[in-house]
Amino acid sequence: MTVSADYRCAACQGARAAFFGGREGYRYVECLQCGSLQLDPLPTAAFLAQQYAEVYSQACHCDNDPVLRDRIARPYYDAIIDGLEAQGGGGRVLDYGAGWGGMMQRLLDRGHRAEGVEPSDEMFAHCQSRGLHVLHGDIYHPELAGPFDGIVMSAVFEHLVGHEAWLARAASLLRPGGVFVSMQPTAPFGRFFGTALRLGIRGITLPKLHQTFCPPWHTVLFSLRGMDTIMARHGFQPLDVHRGPQALGPGLTGIAQRTLDTTNRAGWALLGKHWPGTICHIFVYQKA
């Protein structure tokens, strides 16, 4: 399959890519310059905004039980906040893509002044019911004003489109020296297992890989190089990158997750951030 004529890698802005695989009527392509994987063509911002507002909370991409989500995702939230605090990014913090409000509550519990933005109608209403300070919409909301000491995102950056404008706006909301922390699934995991499980045959439908390949929600799986590249264009310098913690659910899923967690701990010790079994990385950047 050929790549769209107007394709540009969201990460490095390269124009050369190869078909990687299809799923649910969408196709992912691999940048031949930085190795990032992205939907081709990318969905429009208007289409995604409507989908998030109306159906995302019940689309089974994110847990639709707020209590279950808070419990399962708490290791994510604490690891993200640890990365923020380690670099002095505490204080007034924006949780972008607040979901059911779990990370905002953890930020408050740990002494931060947490504010959030959430596009889903149902998730926004739930955050309001918890008494959380959340705006309904996206990063361009007219009432969203800086400066923030930190911006945090839990499995949200891979959902974005219009990355250049989004990052320009995010940078404008952060104070000089402010900290940006994002936990997100990355290209190495998707590429390794997406290739191995299909025996290298790209015409076979991509496996979901625990929501890794999940169109239209996951628009771009950035490579580590690609992530540093796009952030540098907007004045962010890398401070650290961590292995994202593994969610530990109940039953057979939980057993598989614990097995993967043990394997990834060993793999990370050997290869660090380049270990391909790492589903998510936690990136920490600082605004110049």
Contacts of 259 (CB under 8 A, 6+ apart): none
Question: CA 117, CA 184: separation in Å to the nearest integer?
Answer: 18
Name the DSSP class of 57: G
- Is the pLDDT at 24 greater than 80? The verdict is yes
Sign of the Cα torsion 233, 49, 76, 133 reads: positive
- Is the pLDDT at 285 greater than 70? The verdict is yes
- Is the pLDDT at 177 greater than 90? The verdict is yes
Give me the pLDDT at residue 226, please: 98
Chain centroid to Cα 116, Å, comes to 16
The residue written with tokens 């969408």 in the block is: 26
Gap between the terminal Cα atoms of the chain: 41
Give me the pLDDT at residue 104, please: 97
- Is the pLDDT at 172 greater than 70? The verdict is yes
Q: What is the largest CA-CA distance in the chain?
A: 52
Question: CA 193, CA 78: separation in Å to the nearest integer?
Answer: 27
Nearest CA-CA partner of 180 in 278, 95, 74, 273: 95
Q: How confident is the model at residue 252 (pLDDT cuts 50, 70, 90)?
A: confident
Mean pLDDT of 92-111: 97
Task: Tell me if the bond preceding 216 is cis, omega within 30° of 0.
Answer: yes
Q: How confident is the model at residue 62 (pLDDT cuts 50, 70, 90)?
A: confident
Give me the pLDDT at residue 160, please: 97
CATH of domain 45-186+236-287: 3.40.50.150
Name the DSSP class of 157: G
- Is the pLDDT at 1 greater than 70? The verdict is no
Name the DSSP class of 280: E
Give me the pLDDT at residue 261, please: 84
